[in-house]
Structure 1
Amino acid sequence: MYVTHDRALTAPADDTAAVVAELGDRAEITDALYRFGLGQDLKDKDLFASAFAADAELDFRPAAAKWGGEPPLMTGRDSIVGTILALFTGRVDTTHQVTNVRIAIEGDTARLTALVEAQHLLVADPAVHALLKNPYDVELVREGSRWVIRRLRIANAWYTGEPTAIFG
């Protein structure tokens, strides 16, 4: 499920071209997750959508189960973007911080593990919030020169605040 290799790079250290190519892929893979977070934070539909493959799947059910939530599995880039932005725009401000990124690349697919802290505040009453610390399990695919999320599973390590006020 999570990337637990004992090193970051798989390219031979003496093959400069392979190392540079792998580092480029790793930057683009990480950037897909950054686009996911910042796209939500800015409510930027195009940036948010650029994080996903057309057939993407977003599974927030493991995280929501922690507080008794039962969201549906979200499928398809347009549905994911529309659903999340409709839920948050004008109602919830968010900030996402990404850390502990681990990546495994196999050809044109990759797996990414990260720890994401996501703060959610109600616009009408910022005292109502939910701060979530979530392990992410992400499957990505190469799309031209960039990488996009095909499958994103979000679990929850802990939370504070009132997630039900934010997510329903």
Structure 2
Amino acid sequence: MYVTLDRALTASAHDRAAVVAELRDRAEIIDALHRFGLGQDLKDRELFASAFAADAELDFRPAAARWGAEPALMTGREAIVTTILAMFADRVDTTHQITNPRIVVDGDTARLTALVEAQHLLVTDRTTHALLKNPYDVDLVRDGDRWVIRRLRIDNSWYTGNPGAIFG
């Protein structure tokens, strides 16, 4: 599930063009996850949608199972964007911090693992919150000069607060 290579880059240090290409890919791969987080935080539909492939899949079931919820698997960029933004619209404020990214690139596909800390606060009652520490397992595909998420699986290491009040 996790990227556990013993180094960041696979390109030979003597092949500068390959190193530059791999560094560009890695920056664009991480940016896809940043677009995912910031798009939610800003409630910016266009930015959030830009993180996903048209046939993307988002699996929040492993995380939600930690507090007894059973959400559906989300499939398709439009369904993912509509579902998540509608769930939080005018009701929940979020902030996402993304750390510990590990990446492996294989041609036009890539795998990313990261830790994401996601804070959720009810707009009408700031004392109702959920702070989640979630390992992300992400498959991505090249989309021109950028990368987009094809499959995102979100697990949960720990949480505080009341996720049931946030996610329903």
TM-score bracket, shorter-length normalisation:
over 0.9
Query: Cα offset for 1:8?
Result: 0.4
Give the Cα–Cα distance (whole angstroms) in 1 for the partners of residues 136 and 15 of structure 2.
31
For 1:21 and 1:105, the matched residues in 2 are separated by 11
TM-score by length of 1: 1.00
Aligned structure 1 segments of 4 or more residues deviating by more than 4 angstroms: none
Q: 1:34 Cα shift?
A: 0.1
Q: How many residues align?
A: 168
Per the TM alignment, residue 28 of structure 1 is displaced from its structure 2 partner at its CA by 0.1
Deviations along 1:25-70, one digit per CA (max 9) or x if unpaired, are 0000000000000000000000000000000000000000000010
Identity of aligned residues (%): 80
Unpaired segments of 5 or more residues in structure 2? none
Structure 1: give runs of 5+ residues left out of the alignment. Answer: none
What does residue 113 of structure 2 align with? Answer: 113
Query: How many angstroms does 1:89 deviate by?
Result: 1.1
Q: Aligned-pair distance for 1:5?
A: 0.3
How far is 1:135 from its partner? 0.1
SS of corresponding position for 1:6: coil
Distance across 1 between alignment mates of 2:62 and 2:125: 27
Deviations 1:117-142 (A, max 9, x none): 00000001011000000000000000
TM-score by length of 2: 1.00
Within 1, Cα distance between the matches of 2:95 and 2:126?
13
When the two chains are superposed, the root-mean-square deviation of aligned CA atoms in Å is 0.3
Distance 1:44 1:83 in 2: 13
Counterpart of 2:164 in structure 1 is 164
Measure the CA separation in 2 of the matches of 1:105 and 1:162. 37
Q: C-alpha distance in 2, partners of 1:111/1:69?
A: 27
- Please tell me the residue identity of whatever aligns with 1:125: D
